[in-house]
Amino acid sequence: MEDIAIKLVASPLLIGAASLVGRRWGQSVAGWLVGLPLTSGPVAFFLALDYGAGFAVRAAAGSLAGTAVQAGFCLAYVRAAQVCNWPIALMAATVAFVLGGVLCEITAPRLAVLLPLAVTALALALRLLPRAAAPARIAIAPPKWDVPARMIVAAGLVVGLSSAAPLIGPQLAGLIATYPVFASVLAVFAHRLEGEPAARRVLQGLLIGLFGFAGFFAVLAGALPTFGVTGAFACAALTALAIQGCSLWLIRRRGIAPRTR
């Protein structure tokens, strides 16, 4: 019950903050922000407390595999959005996520393989992603209900996706927890309001932000058996923040996001 309450409060606040960040600093920075493990990280923490470090290590491995699957999600959405509207693009991206998850479950790659796999998938997706157009200001002011609607949609998706997690095992639960709920909401609303290039910038920012996500779960899976729950999560969080700082510098350096807005 407490877990659901946290999601009902934290999820809308995060998506609301990311939406406002997108308006202030651009869609790419909003996507980068939700690349942090702000949902799957706490899920792994509660799993470690409730079921032990071994269970959490397997969940972290699933989340690390989910990083590569998210790369497929982003690429599928952008490719579909070039010729279709947002419902079809979101459906195509979700199908890509499901197929990637099934492939990971069938092949069950070892933990040592998952980090190189995730990094390679992210780099390849960034390489194949069409170049986004230069950020443009919104011609029409968004409606007053825009941000509240995003918050409601995000809360519903998070609760719905996580409700089945205890029934399907740690690794699959960790993988499902990586479904890019926040990025989906941001991309769909950006697509609907500003068009496909805006959604593309959200997902490009997400791909860059996911390097920190991968670092978090790689360190977590390796450190849990040695350092325990508190020490492992502290090391993983510091690693993710360090990588995110570097990736934000890259976003600004390459002009993917404007310096002022």
Provide, rounded to the nearest whole percent, the portion of the chain with pLDDT above 70: 72
Tokens of 110: 């070892």
The pLDDT assigned to 91 comes to 96
pLDDT at 254 over 70: no
* Beta-carbon contacts of residue 204 (< 8 Å; ≥ 6 apart): 28, 31, 74, 126, 129, 132, 256
Q: Which residue has the higher pLDDT, 126 or 163?
A: 126
**72-110 pLDDT per residue, tens:** 999 999 999 999 999 999 999 999 999 998 898 888 888
pLDDT tens, residue by residue, 128-183: 988 655 544 444 455 566 667 767 766 665 666 556 656 666 667 667 778 887 78
Q: Are 28 and 251 in contact (CB under 8 A)?
A: yes
Q: Cα–Cα distances in Å, from 34 out to 53, 55, 84, 224, 225? A: 26, 25, 25, 24, 28
Alpha-carbon distance of 146 to 251, in angstroms, equals 26
Torsion angle, alpha carbons of 39, 119, 205, 13, to 10: 10
Phi and psi at residue 139, in whole multiples of 5°? -70, -35
Intra-chain end-to-end CA distance of the chain, in Å: 40
CB atoms within 10 A of CB 10: 16
Name the pLDDT band for 261 (thresholds 50, 70, 90): very low
